[in-house]
Each structure stands twice: as C-alpha cells, then as structure tokens.
Amino acid sequence: MRVHVTELINGDQLSNDTFNNYGLHVLSKGTIVYSQEISRLFQHQIDYVDIEERAEETSPRTLESTVNPRWLPTVQPIYENAVKNFEGLFSKAMNEGKIDEEEVSSMLDPLLENLQLERDVVSMLLLLNTQDDYTYQHSVQVGMLSYYLATWVGYSNEKAIQIGKAGFLHDIGKCRIQQSILNKPGRLTDEEFEEVKKHTIYGHDIISSSFNEPYLAIGALQHHERNDGTGYPHGLSGDEIHPVSKIISVVDIYSAMISERVYQQKRDLLFVLKELYRLSFKELDPYTTHTFIKHMMPNFIGKRVELVSGEVGIIVMTHPTEFFRPLIQVDEQFIDMSLEREYEIQLVHI
C-alpha cells in the first residue's frame, strides 16, 4: 500500500527500496520504520512510500505513544526485577559497607543488553514506570539513561555498559541517610540538607571498597557537582569534573523531573528538556546536555502537540539545532516552527 510519509507509524515495513528525487538510495526494501527513519524520509523530501499491508489499520493521530510494544514482554520483567533487587543491594551496602560486583552485573546487564530493542526512550521510561520506591526506580532509570547518553557522546558499547553501572550506583550512598529525611515530603532543614549531601561521599566510599574501576566511584562522588562551581561536595567546576560524572548529572536531573514524585499530574517532557537546556548555560556541561537533548528530541516525532494558539498537530520532524522548534502538521498544513516563530508548543502528549 502507498502512504504519505506523514501517515507512517512506527513498525511499518517498506515494501520497496526508497530513493530521493536525485536517485540517491535512502532506505531499503524490508526496513522497519521508526522515528529516525521517518525523519530521514522528511530530510530527503520524500512524500510517498510503499509499505506492506498493516495487520490492523491504525491512525497515527490517535496514538498516545509511538513505542513498539514488541520489546515490552522482554524488558519490563527485567526492569521490574532490577528495581526490586536494588532494595536488597541498598540493604547490603548499609549493613556491610560494600556491594558485590557480580550481583550488580546480574541486575543491570540483562537490562542494558535489551535496550537496543527500543529507540523511543521518552515513552519507554514512562511505560516502565512502576509504583516502587522512588530511590530504587530512579537508580535503575539513571543507569539506563547513562548507558544511552554514553553511547551518544561516543563511548564504545563496552564502556557505555560500565558507565551505565556508574549511573545505576550513583545514589547508593543514600543507604546511610535516614529514611525519614530521604522521604520527607516537605522542605528539608539546612541540617537535613547537609546530611543528604553526604550521600555522595558515602557512595564513593562504598563503591571504592567494592570495585577496582575508579570512575564508578567518581560518578557517585561528583554527580551533584556543577559546571559553574555551585555543586557539592567539593565545589568543582568545568574540567575538574569527570566526564562520566557530567553524563550522570544530566540524566539524574532528567529522571528526577519526569518522576511522579515531582510531577503528580500530566508530565510535559518537552518542558523538562527545555529546563535541561537552560541549565546547560551555567550548571550542566553544554556538550553533554545538548547531545542528550539532540538524541531525545527525535523520539517526539509522531507525538501529538497542543499549541499555545489552541491548535492540535503532530510533530513530523525535529530540527538539528533548534531543538524545541520542530516541523509540525496541523490538519493539512505544515508549520516549520524554526521559521514561523509566532508558534509555540504548550503540551506534548506522550
């Protein structure tokens, strides 16, 4: 069947090779298209493609998520197992002052090995969200996102897995902080905040006693350091902060902001990325942060948006530098927000 590129949905399979107007081969027959492939078709100004018949006709405008569900039965139990087992890891760190390397690998490695099955990181984390303790779930999410961001900034897959572990363990020092302080719903006193800040030093001690790889412990120690020197525990700035710690800092903030602990109502993830962008000019490393945003934004292709004007549309292409001003389709009209500056996105539906 022949469809317009704007009508493609994740999981469609091309039935023919696709070429642009100059005869350049763009995508091969049999390719399963997702947001990145759809974006590529737009970049080559291809209007129509041939796809295999869909088992079930679905309008992309009704989709709240573009996640391919095939990975869910595989990844979800691994994710939930990692979250539940992290509680035991926490207890062991508190009681024994160290953790077992093989135990950490058995929790995280299966999850990281399966992450390549799903490219829509934005929707994936929301679908995997459980009602488990915030600290445990946050640690697993930071491990997953640290792995992704490490690959995006150029680390090998092997090294990215280790950085994922550093992210997974970044908050292990909280096992020595009183639960009444960690779970306090209101504002912390100055004394309580000073105690919470010590989790970075506690985590460094626990990981240093358990692993031979120094940067795993550095991630725990430095993930609250800030590029402008306003962070803790040592007020480091710029290149004094380890690159792995800069990765964990970015995803730590992202995971915290998308959690239900922060957003009790509908979470506007575009706002979260805009907030990271704002922080990149002072507190967070610009290159690391912009790389994260650049790779997260294509996940919004196919998502439904509400504009400030009240109009509703679909994101069909993201901009490589103007991250938050994509190409959107409203009815039969295409609006390039990088050129038509009067338009603003109010909400993205995930």
Decide: pTM greater than 0.85. no
Q: What is the tens place of the pLDDT at every residue in 282-333?
A: 999 999 999 999 988 888 888 889 999 999 999 988 888 899 999 999 988 9
Q: How confident is the model at residue 119 (pLDDT cuts 50, 70, 90)?
A: low
Q: Using a pLDDT cut of 70, give the percent of the chain over it.
A: 87
Residues 6+ apart with CB under 8 A from 8: 33, 38, 41, 49, 51, 60
What value does the mean pLDDT take over residues 170-194?
A: 91
pLDDT value, residue 66: 46
Higher model confidence: residue 313 or residue 135?
313
Cβ 221 vs Cβ 241: under 8 Å: no
What value does the mean pLDDT take over residues 235-260?
A: 93
Q: How confident is the model at residue 265 (pLDDT cuts 50, 70, 90)?
A: very low
pLDDT value, residue 24: 80
Alpha helices in the chain (DSSP H): 35-43, 72-96, 101-114, 121-128, 134-152, 157-168, 179-182, 190-197, 199-208, 214-222, 243-258, 269-279, 286-296
Higher model confidence: residue 184 or residue 194?
194
**For residue 16, is it left (φ>0), alpha (ψ between -120 and 50) or beta?**
beta
Token code pair at residue 317: 């292409």
* Structural domains of the chain ordered from first start: 2-58 (3.90.105.10), 69-297 (1.10.3210.10), 301-349 (no CATH)
What is d(CA 230, CA 236) in angstroms, rounded to the nearest whole number?
A: 8
What value does the mean pLDDT take over residues 219-234?
A: 97
What is d(CA 172, CA 136) in angstroms, rounded to the nearest whole number?
A: 9
What value does the mean pLDDT take over residues 106-130?
A: 73
What value does the mean pLDDT take over residues 79-88?
A: 88
Q: Using a pLDDT cut of 90, give the percent of the chain over it.
A: 49
* Of 41, 33, 43, residue with least CA distance to 12: 33
What is d(CA 110, CA 82) in angstroms, rounded to the nearest whole number?
A: 9
Q: What is the tens place of the pLDDT at every residue in 137-149?
A: 899 999 999 999 9
| Residue 169: how many other CB atoms lie within 10 Å | 28
What value does the mean pLDDT take over residues 151-179?
A: 94
Q: How confident is the model at residue 179 (pLDDT cuts 50, 70, 90)?
A: confident
pLDDT value, residue 264: 45
What is d(CA 112, CA 140) in angstroms, rounded to the nearest whole number?
A: 10
The residue type found at 2 is R
Mean per-residue pLDDT over the chain, rounded: 85
Token code pair at residue 252: 């730590």
What does the DSSP 8-state code read for residue 214?
H
